[in-house]
Amino acid sequence: MDERRHGGRLEVPRPEPRASGGRVAIGVDLGGTHARAAVIDGRGAVLSACKRTLSDRTPEAVADLLAAATHEAIRDAGQSEANVAAVGVGAAGQIHSGTGVVAVGPNLGWRDVPFAELLRQRLPWPVLLMNDLSAAAWGERSVGAGESADDVLLYFVGSGIGSGLILDGSLYEGSGGVAGEVGHTKVVPGGRLCGCGEQGCLEAYCGGHNLSLRVAEAIAAGRASALATVKPPVYAADIERAALAGDGLARELWDECARLLSVSLANYVTLLNPARVILGGGVLLSCPELRRTVEARVFELALRASRQGLQLVDARLGDDAGVVGSGLRALESVVPGAES
């Protein structure tokens, strides 16, 4: 990688125009249960994709699986291996992209895994490892809902909560590569235990996985609720539906989510003054009333000057955002022609 760090920003060429000389990259989205490898061209189009279930989550087994999926995706796209320029991998957790190490990968149970090196041992191309939401933000910014904006925040509320940041046209990953961990900002000091091992994080209250747990805990403690009839896991959309129908427990959880997410996002907007916020993740995108409420309150709570001209839009690339972003990012980091 010929990326250079300056004050936490990775200096890579801007995405437009994308003159990759016809070369392609592999974009990988590595989740906790599945991995997807896709062939991405210089315009961010997905030429083929290969999805695999992770049965063995040891780093070596996952690297073997991804190497096989990569070769299959290249064959499916009708590409020659010589035309592949690089491999980009977006993985959940705290990722040091400069060294290619997964510092903390909670979904996989990994700590300090030099995953880029494991892939380089199996594949003949440069490997760029990055956080999955940074990858998604870069994908949306390049060819999705963030196009033509230089200051973009991807705010993601799904099973977990996180964000990706494009500042002044560059992906911002922080001095240690872990910027944007908004799900682990503290909203209740000393509060609920979070999957990260700390207490009181936003994700411990509003992440989809934790919402489901909170419903189960309340019902186990004897709380009456229409949600008791929903087969677990209870999804955020179930909670919104029950809340709107007047269920007390659902209403409490929904109100708290709307309040905490609105304050969190409004403060983020006040701090960074983005031109565009891209909303993503199953909790926000499957709950139209929650999404509408959060948007309205952000415009009430963010500092007036910081929300001038602000746009809140929905993510456009869906499940492709991670593979498109990691693939484009890898391609742009090794193909000089991709520079504008």
Which positions lie near Zn ion, rule CB under 5 A? Answer: 184, 194, 196, 198, 201
In angstroms, give the least distance from the CB of 220 to Zn ion: 23
Our CB check for Zn ion shows the closer of 139 and 160 to be 160
Nearer to Zn ion, 10 or 102 (CB): 102
Least gap, CB of 223 to Zn ion (angstroms)? 25
Q: Which CB atom, from 196 or from 310, has the smaller least distance to Zn ion?
A: 196
**Contact present, 87 and 122 (Cβ < 8 Å):** no
Q: Would you tell me the crossing angle of helices 248-272 and 288-301 to the nearest 10 degrees?
A: 40
Report the relative pairing of strands 46-53 and 311-314 from DSSP bridges: unpaired
Rounded to the nearest whole angstrom, what is the least distance from the CB of residue 44 to Zn ion in the complex?
A: 32
CB of 181 to Zn ion, least distance (A): 8
Looking at the Cβ atoms of 138 and 205, the one nearer to Zn ion is: 205
Kindly report each contact of residues 235-244 with a partner whose C-beta sits within 8 Å and lies 24 or more positions away, as own/partner. 235/208, 235/282, 235/286, 236/208, 236/211, 236/282, 236/283, 236/286, 236/287, 236/290, 237/286, 237/287, 239/211, 239/215, 239/287, 240/286, 240/287, 240/288, 240/289, 240/290, 244/289
Nearest approach in angstroms of CB 188 to Zn ion is 11
E strand map for the chain: 4-6, 9-11, 24-30, 34-40, 46-53, 84-91, 94-96, 101-105, 110-113, 127-131, 152-157, 161-167, 170-171, 276-280, 311-314
Instruction: Considering the complex, state which of residue 203 and residue 320 has its C-beta at the smaller distance from Zn ion.
Output: 203
Whole-number Å distance between alpha carbons of 267 and 226: 34
Of residues 134, 170, 179, the one with CA closest to residue 149: 170
Output 139 or 207, the one with its CB closest to Zn ion. Answer: 207
What phi and psi, each to the nearest 5 degrees, are found at residue 44? 85, 10
CB of 251 vs Zn ion, minimal distance in Å? 25
| Minimum gap (Å) between residue 340 Cβ and Zn ion | 38
Between 195 and 282, CB nearer to Zn ion: 195
